[in-house]
Chain A
Amino acid sequence: DAKTTQPTSMDCAEGRAANLPCNHSTISGNEYVYWYRQIHSQGPQYIIHGLKNNETNEMASLIITEDRKSSTLILPHATLRDTAVYYCIVARYGGSQGNLIFGKGTKLSVKP
């Protein structure tokens, strides 16, 4: 089972910030928080990941709470092309484990 909880769906107005929440209350100290998105009929696309500090890249920002039990993905200026299913995943890398466990994600609809 996925170790994260996300809302099933969210709407956002074009040009506004989209804030996608994720709960991961059982996260372990060596697990990262990863965000991927999947546009209809395409493979998942990596967005961003973090361990405990907030992270920002050209696509998004990731805010992780101090206790690491939840996080928020922020798309600062959503466009229609950001309409997709967004997956929040906690994962540990190294050693013999490397697979990602996907839940059902949040379906984000960006509306004009």
Chain B
Amino acid sequence: DTGVSQDPRHKITKRGQNVTFRCDPISEHNRLYWYRQTLGQGPEFLTYFQNEAQLEKSRLLSDRFSAERPKGSFSTLEIQRTEQGDSAMYLCASSSGRTGETQYFGPGTRLLVL
């Protein structure tokens, strides 16, 4: 199966620590998206890349959040100085970028900040 993969699947950290999540998109998909999902809510868009260019980052929740996609393949999402309110599922999706294309989601990384 060559779907979207995310690592780790689960992360427990203490408040104030930095965490980094990785997303590997479907091969040859040039668009990559990050979403956050809190309990009982639908996924909330954070940012997206077309190849290595980050085209939208105004929805990142604060300056503690940053994302990279240095070679246009995998991406990382970093949260610095984590807070308990950062506890959520972080989802990655990819698409081929053509008009009308579909986003395919990974299994998510569940973060718990103690």
**Residues of A participating in the B interface, judged by any CB pair closer than 8 Å:** 2, 32, 34, 36, 41-46, 49, 51, 85, 87, 93-94, 96-105
* CB–CB B43/A44 < 8 A: yes
The prevalent SS among residues of A at the interface is loop
We find that the number of chain B residues with CB closer than 8 angstroms to chain A is: 31
Q: Which residue of B lies closest to A85 (CB)?
A: B42
Q: Within 8 Å CB of A104, what residues of B? A: 40-42
Given contacts A42-B108, A43-B4, list 13 more A-B pairs with CB under 8 A. Answer: A42-B107, A43-B91, A43-B106, A51-B100, A87-B42, A94-B99, A97-B56, A98-B95, A102-B43, A102-B44, A104-B40, A104-B42, A105-B42
* Docked pose: A88 CA to B111 CA in angstroms: 26
Q: Within 8 Å CB of B50, what residues of A? A: 98
Q: Within 8 Å CB of B93, what residues of A? A: 43-44, 100
* CB–CB B42/A103 < 8 A: yes
* CB–CB A100/B48 < 8 A: no
In this complex, the member of B43, B48, B50 whose beta carbon has the largest number of chain A beta carbons within 10 angstroms is B43
Do A98 and B33 form a contact, CB below 8 Å, given A43-B91, A104-B42?
Answer: yes
In this complex, the member of B42, B56, B108 whose beta carbon has the largest number of chain A beta carbons within 10 angstroms is B42
User: Closest 7 CB pairs between A and B?
Assistant: A102-B42, A43-B105, A99-B45, A94-B99, A44-B105, A102-B43, A43-B108
24 contacts between A and B (CB under 8 A): A2-B42, A34-B102, A41-B108, A43-B91, A44-B91, A44-B93, A46-B102, A46-B103, A49-B100, A51-B100, A85-B42, A93-B100, A93-B101, A94-B98, A94-B99, A98-B103, A100-B35, A100-B43, A101-B45, A102-B35, A102-B42, A102-B44, A103-B42, A105-B42
